[in-house]
Amino acid sequence: MDLTALEQLLAAYKRDELEPREAARRISELHFEDIGYARVDHSRSTRQGFPEVVFGAGKTREQVVGIVERLVEKSPNVLVTHTDEGTFGEVRNVITEAEWHETARLIRIHRDKTERGVGEIAVVTAGTSDIPVAEEAALTAEAMGNRVKRVWDVGVAGIHRVLAERSLLQSARVAIVVAGMEGALPSVVGGLVSVPVIAVPTSIGYGASFGGVAALLGMLNSCASNVTVVNIDNGFGAGFVASLINRKWARITD
């Protein structure tokens, strides 16, 4: 929120130049910008390193470009997830720093590279096919100022593969574990480390995997106590929460 604007509003209210109702409304509106098809939310402090994020699916290219244009004015880092290369082309026309990440199908504008984490974030996959979702998590965590360690293809059917990475995993502040099919890897990683594990089910599999439901249920029922779960294929959410966990923290005193 623009603090100067807020102070001016409050002063005007005290001088009786504004009715209480009108004052309240104007204060609320400082938080976002209404561009017709969207209310672009500016209330999260971008000084803390949160990237602004646009969920690309179900929006027209014009809408994505319009929203990104507003965001880059106030935020150095911006992500567009669930998008395509054509949209990237139009975004790059207006913001030349935009990068295209084919594997994750994600546009990233990454101008502020300040490091903000206390440790590292491990991003782990059970299989090769889970990499796109894991990359979405890793790219998000990097855009939020974190160092990321990638560990691909260490699923439980060859348990020695994940055991070989035990010390890497144990040195991370938080682990993101991405798995489809039976989704068992988070439980095993959860047993190896003493930090939070964020489990991401993927839609990889066939038949009774039901588009990721089998993996999701497996993770929700994990016998490891340090596992929490996000939506199927939600690499972005996992990267976002992992960044909040890893963030140097000080009580917000106001």
Residue 43 touches a copy of itself, criterion: CB under 8 A: yes
Cα-based torsion angle of the residue sequence 160, 164, 165, 168 in order, rounded to the nearest 10 degrees: 150
Min dist CB 154 to a copy of itself, Å, is: 6
Binding span for a copy of itself by CB under 8 A among 68-76, 86-94, 104-112, 225-233: 225-233
Residue 12 touches a copy of itself, criterion: CB under 8 A: no
Structure tokens at 10: 């409050």
Min dist CB 84 to a copy of itself, Å, is: 15
Cβ contacts of 205 within 8 Å, gap of 6 or more: 180, 181, 211, 212, 214, 215
Closest by CA position to 208, among listed 190, 183, 238? 183
Residue 231 touches a copy of itself, criterion: CB under 8 A: yes
Instruction: Please answer whether residues 223 and 187 qualify as being in contact, where contact means their C-beta atoms are separated by less than 8 angstroms.
Output: yes
Residue 77 touches a copy of itself, criterion: CB under 8 A: no
Residue 183 touches a copy of itself, criterion: CB under 8 A: yes
Residue 93 touches a copy of itself, criterion: CB under 8 A: no
Residue 58 touches a copy of itself, criterion: CB under 8 A: yes
Residue 235 touches a copy of itself, criterion: CB under 8 A: no
H-assigned helices in the chain: 3-14, 20-29, 61-74, 85-94, 131-143, 159-163, 166-170, 185-192, 213-220, 235-246
Selected binder of a copy of itself within 29, 85, 99, 115 (CB under 8 A): 29
